[in-house]
């Protein structure tokens, strides 16, 4: 079992729908948090006592190292990384612009890979000291079932899943667990603010708090993978 109380955990995209919920639930569990987002104002609005707040655009080279260094400076170690950042675009694949393709790749794939690379030495130190370090990636159900109308997003999330699944095998000997979670549609602001295209008429999605609880339960239980089937039966969101 992995104990989150006192663990030093980095949350990427802490100001997003899932990121905020991770921050709240982890703080309630007694974790020591390093929270990232592009806006310092939005980070302040989280109102998480004692958290290290690091404004960062992780698509920029060097920002990943800055975040990891901030966590080590604040708490002396890094025990976990949760990738709750992301961006979505809608529309046919053949109509997707280069600008959108590049942004989707940079945000959903390149940034998490940079953070994984930057954090790996610190996570290995945590394992060597007797900890149970982990990385959580949330690639989503489209990594299992690429979907028409969100083809570019499906492609980059599939790449995100592949990268973290490979990392899980490569980092196992160092004592680092990499967990990829693939929940179905979850009711956050992400789909309401695409970088291009218009959101289709989705059925009501999962409640964000329920998705985050399921993922953190998996972290505590030392689970190694969370396919879409692991989220079946979760409550849907109350949409007003």
Active site amino acids: 153
* Backbone dihedral region for residue 105 (phi beyond 0: left; psi -120 to 50: alpha; all else: beta): alpha
Q: Which pair of tokens denotes residue 180?
A: 């990829």
**Closest alpha carbon to 223 in 157, 159, 132:** 132
Q: What is d(CA 100, CA 115) in angstroms, rounded to the nearest whole number?
A: 22
Rg (CA), the chain: 17
- CA 99, 105, 111, 112: dihedral to nearest 10 degrees? 160
**Closest alpha carbon to 173 in 226, 123, 215, 220:** 123
Q: What is d(CA 166, CA 162) in angstroms, rounded to the nearest whole number?
A: 6
Q: What is d(CA 161, CA 182) in angstroms, rounded to the nearest whole number?
A: 9
**Closest alpha carbon to 72 in 27, 15, 28, 125:** 125
């Amino acid at each position: 079992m992995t104990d989150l109380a006192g663990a030093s955990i980095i949350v990427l995209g802490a100001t997003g729908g899932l990121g905020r919920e991770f921050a709240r639930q982890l703080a309630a569990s007694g974790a020591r948090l390093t929270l990232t987002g592009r806006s310092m104002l939005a980070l302040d609005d989280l109102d998480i006592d004692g958290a290290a707040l690091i404004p960062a655009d992780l698509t920029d080279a060097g920002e990943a190292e800055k975040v990891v260094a901030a966590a080590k400076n604040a708490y002396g170690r890094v025990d976990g990384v949760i990738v709750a950042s992301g961006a979505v675009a809608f529309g046919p694949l053949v109509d997707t612009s280069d600008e959108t393709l590049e942004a989707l790749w940079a945000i959903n794939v390149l940034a998490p890979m940079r953070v994984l690379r930057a954090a790996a030495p610190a996570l290995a130190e945590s394992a060597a000291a007797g900890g149970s370090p982990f990385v959580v990636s949330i690639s989503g159900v489209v990594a299992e079932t690429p979907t028409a109308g969100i083809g570019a997003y499906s492609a980059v999330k599939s790449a995100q899943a592949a990268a973290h699944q490979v990392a899980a095998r490569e980092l196992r000997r160092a004592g680092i667990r990499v967990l990829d979670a693939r929940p179905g549609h979850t009711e956050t602001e992400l789909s309401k603010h695409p970088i291009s295209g218009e959101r289709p008429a989705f059925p009501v999605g999962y409640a964000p708090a329920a998705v985050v609880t399921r993922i953190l339960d998996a972290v505590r239980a030392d689970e190694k993978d969370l396919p879409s089937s692991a989220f079946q039966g979760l409550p849907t969101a109350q949409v007003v």
